[in-house]
Chain A
């Protein structure tokens, strides 16, 4: 280690500089220092100020149920009920379902929900792995308005083996 301290070279690579170079160098350093200060301020703002935008008040309420419970690896039925602000069920909506795992690298699942009775929609998916899942609902209302909702499905358990 002492050999290193004695023999290893200095902190950075540098070249001999003429007076002109030194002036330029000073200007460059000042500019860079200003930039770094700016970056530091921006980082502070990011740390303190960055957050996900708050969700706008829902105009559509979505009730959901996933069966069977507890959720396990294997087939599952997602039931959704769409209600508007006045409490009336919403019929004729189109709901595309996408289910993702919390870990990157896993293939998402896709399904279309069918309206089983007025305002009530059902989709069949198959959880392929135990763990945390996120179900994304891509909803198109009868008027063409589009909504996105997220349902967290935590702790899908390993499947039960049948003989």
Chain B
């Protein structure tokens, strides 16, 4: 079929809000070089952060690498994910460097079959959380800079050898965080009308566009194996807009939707399969949710008491084994106990036909909103209470170059008062808790139509336990040490 025979689409009032229809924004996103345009500023910023991290002040509060990474980037990231979608992956600076490198080194290999899942990225996600606590990355501009460099190199090496977006889909821990969090975003890259896709024969959104004679790719299709007509939700979507550019019918938009709606259903998803059959994805959801509490726990006073007690019990002075035990408890024992018990109770009370493990996997996604609420509360606390610190740190960085045209650093500028931010934090936690209740009830209704409440109650209890733990954590006095075992 000639693509031009498909009529142009009009947006009826009944259709969801489409960011691609917003004047200016739509034009920008449709432009082929929109992504590099958004990536370039972040690349420049990354280079500045690396240089300042390596050669600037060694004190974290005075360095752009630590201030931007651990305060502003994380805060803006979670807020954009909450309010819009996975736009950080769209503007990812690592992918700009990768794309430039691919002009020289063409990848030859396909990603190994045994690694085509989330297990590796789950491991790397845990490793980053562990390294963050063990090496106190927040307090070291030097290590923060090297972390950014390592990220660039990893992306280059992986995507230098392997085709498609192997790094994004199977390796990148930030990407996995964004994929899980974006299941709660209000926007999704999605086809506007399925009929148009049904009539489309070229499938450019996945194949890409090629020159007829040379067969060379001129516009990429989805590198993450998401075939738009059967794509469901934001999981694995980097918002790269390749499909938007490749679609000859202008049938792909960035459409509004009910946040978390994709967690309430379990259809087969392009490039993913069934959520309920993906143990690796469930593990990612567990690390995302329980890791949120663990990451916050590492910043409050009780963690030092726990570490000291564990150190005494085990007769060890090194932090790594003690931290390893805490991680094992939070990321393996606690989830296995809570989720296992809830799944067993659901099976027993609601007489669910599913086996224990598939049932546990299915409901695990219901805890994601709670985890996101905790990440929001934690990251926004640092972001909002240190909101203005970017000003004196930038003033100081420029002054150190010998031309203080922004004036002397105003170190007294910090951010919003902690008591105001605490209200915002509680709001995020309540939102996350409510989201988890809605998702798990929806799953329970679908799973046990006759006894939805019986299937729901165990999971609601798990959500309540985690929510209480989150609230307790938020009210603990913060204690930011660079050495946990100092006694």
Contact = CB atoms under 8 A, between A and B. Distances in A.
B322 to A, nearest CB: 16
A57 interface: no
A131 B478 CA distance: 8
Nearest to A105: B386
Given A3-B227, A5-B110, A129-B479, A15 B389 contact: no
B102 A132 contact: no
Interface string B376-389: 00000011011001
A104 B67 contact: yes
Interface in B302-359: 304
Contacts of A4: 164, 206, 224-225, 271
A107 interface: yes
Contact of A104 (B116, B138, B217, B304): B138
A130 interface: yes
B99 interface: yes
Contacts of A98: 411
Given A43-B149, A132-B482, A9 B208 contact: yes
Interface stretch (B55-63, B86-94, B287-295, B440-448): B55-63
Contacts of A132: 139, 480-483
Residues of B contacting A: mostly = loop
B261 interface: no
B203 interface: yes
Contact of A8 (B62, B67, B219, B225): B225
Contacts of A52: 58
B486 interface: yes
Contacts of A43: 149
A106 B414 contact: yes
B94 to A, nearest CB: 15
Contact of A102 (B211, B482, B486): B482
Given A104-B63, A105-B385, A154-B482, A13 B220 contact: yes
Closest 6 CB pairs of A and B: A105-B386, A4-B225, A9-B208, A131-B480, A130-B479, A102-B139
Given A9-B210, A14-B218, A110-B411, 7 more contacts: A7-B207, A8-B221, A11-B164, A105-B70, A132-B482, A154-B486, A155-B487
